[in-house]
Amino acid sequence: MNRQTKRLLAKQQAAQEKGGGARPAPTPRVAPGGEKRKRTPPRQFLKEVRNELKKVAWPTRGEVTTYTVVVLVSVTFVTVYVFFLDLGFSKAVFKVFSR
C-alpha cells in the first residue's frame, strides 16, 4: 500500500470517527501537470508501439530453438515424474482401502 492510499484511508477513518458517515465524492484523476489527461489517438498509439518494439532485443532463431527444446524436455520430464507419483500413490491408496 503506498503513501497516498494510506493518507486517503486515514482521512476517511477520521471523517467517520467525527460522525461524518457520508463518503466524500471521488476527485477526478488528473495528469501530473495538473490538466486532465487526453486520450491518445489510435494512430499515434500504434506508432509509439512500433517504436518501442524496435528497441526490443529479439532472440535469434537458434536461441528460440534452444529454448523450445529445453521447455519441451522439461515438461516431458515433469509429466513423467508426476505420472509415476500418481501411479504409486493410487496403488498405495487402493492397497490400504482394499483390505
Per DSSP, 39 falls in state P
d(C-alpha 98, C-alpha 96), whole Å:
6
Looking at residue 38, its pLDDT comes to 84
Looking at residue 7, its pLDDT comes to 83
Please name the residues in contact with 61: beta carbons below 8 A apart, sequence gap of 6 or more. none
Cell numbers for 82, please give them: 508426476
Residue 14 one-letter amino acid? A
d(C-alpha 94, C-alpha 96), whole Å:
6
Looking at residue 34, its pLDDT comes to 61
Looking at residue 24, its pLDDT comes to 61
Residues of the chain where predicted confidence (pLDDT) is lower than 50? none
Please name the residues in contact with 60: beta carbons below 8 A apart, sequence gap of 6 or more. none
User: 41-62 pLDDT, tens per residue?
Assistant: 999 999 999 999 999 999 999 9
Looking at residue 60, its pLDDT comes to 96
Looking at residue 6, its pLDDT comes to 81
